Amino acid sequence: MSDSGSGAFRLDRRKALGLCVSGALLVPLARRARAQTLDKLSFHTDWRAQAEHGGFYQAIAAGLYRKAGIECELRPGGPSLNIGQMLLAGRVDMIMSNSFEAFTYVREDAPFFTIASIFQKDPQVLIAHPGSGFDSFEKMKGRPLLISNGSRSTFWPYLRKKYGLSDAQLRPYNFNMAPFLADPKAIQQGFVTSEAYSIAQALGKQPETLLIADAGFSAYQTTIAISRRLAGEKKELIQRFVDATLEGWAQYLKGGPETAAANALIKHDNPEQTDDRIAYAVKMLNESGIVRSGDALTGGIGAMSDARWKAFYESMVDVEVVPRGLDPTKAYTLEFVNKGIGR
């Protein structure tokens, strides 16, 4: 980005944050900013900026965190960052996590837990070539399956047992589409918001996809993990953060001009993101009910329930992914959610 372009972005961002909108309002806003002391919090996402993080960016761009009295430092993740270790070391206040990490905290007796779940459904899908007849999970039998090493110890054992599949079907998946594109019988894992889009661009047609959550895999995803100490000592502050975040997601999913500033921030943090890629991701988040389904239908965005956590834990014990004998209620708290925001 050129210096002139960078300067224009900084100006747009200041406008988005309510720091300057016109010369007439600049001084009053500056006086108010000096009068307001903001509480600082840092949140680390699990990957590079993308629409799947849009609600957090919206809360910044629309000034929702500042309105809640918070200066939020949103840190993008990446392939070389272990954000879990950063949380354990106290180098960040909160991180984007998942149900499996929450059970790891319980197993290791680590003082961390989950306080909200943005995604009610895991956005991972299984992807097949257009016209290959992949319209049910039973049709995975006998076909080569490109599954990553990480997924072989999460959703794969569940699918293998439920549908009578075999490890002999597995092929390495290293986040490279070439092996999939070369084999019309292959099935590849991916995200409904991203890989499905890239494959459609490569093939010129929409691939056939099945959302893993529709097989009954009920993991919460894009959760917020925090130390028990911080959640307890600064309960009111953390509640303000959660509320502003959930409102950010409610706004972002509506799309339209009101989310342009948030998308500009996403593209600034990750230039690989484009307007069409972002639009596709938001469309799929909405159409697939990734955010608004399950517990969110009654409790609002970010909602969780005891029953869901218990059922998921038991399903993972059944396939020997997590150990028996853990107390799943130690993995989370419902104190900060289920308040109807964005319902």
* 280-303 confidence digits (pLDDT tens): 999 999 999 999 999 999 999 999
pLDDT in tens, 212-267: 999 999 999 999 999 999 999 999 999 999 999 999 999 999 999 999 999 999 99
Q: Is the pLDDT of residue 5 over 50?
A: no
Asked if 204 and 275 sit in the same domain, the reply is no
- Predicted confidence at residue 80, as pLDDT, reads 87
Please state, for a pLDDT cut of 90, what percent of the chain lies above it.
89
Residue 154 lies in a domain: yes
Where do we find the tokens 């079907």?
169
Q: Is the pLDDT of residue 167 over 80?
A: yes
> Is the CB of residue 191 less than 8 Å from the CB of residue 209?
no
Q: By mean pLDDT, which of 4-13, 190-199, 234-243 is the weakest?
A: 4-13
Q: Count of domains in the chain?
A: 3
Structural domain boundaries enclosing 171: 124-215
Asked if 165 and 232 sit in the same domain, the reply is no
Asked if 82 and 145 sit in the same domain, the reply is no
Q: Is the pLDDT of residue 22 over 50?
A: no
Asked if 66 and 107 sit in the same domain, the reply is yes
The structure's pTM equals: 0.88
Q: What's the average model confidence in pLDDT over 88-99? A: 97
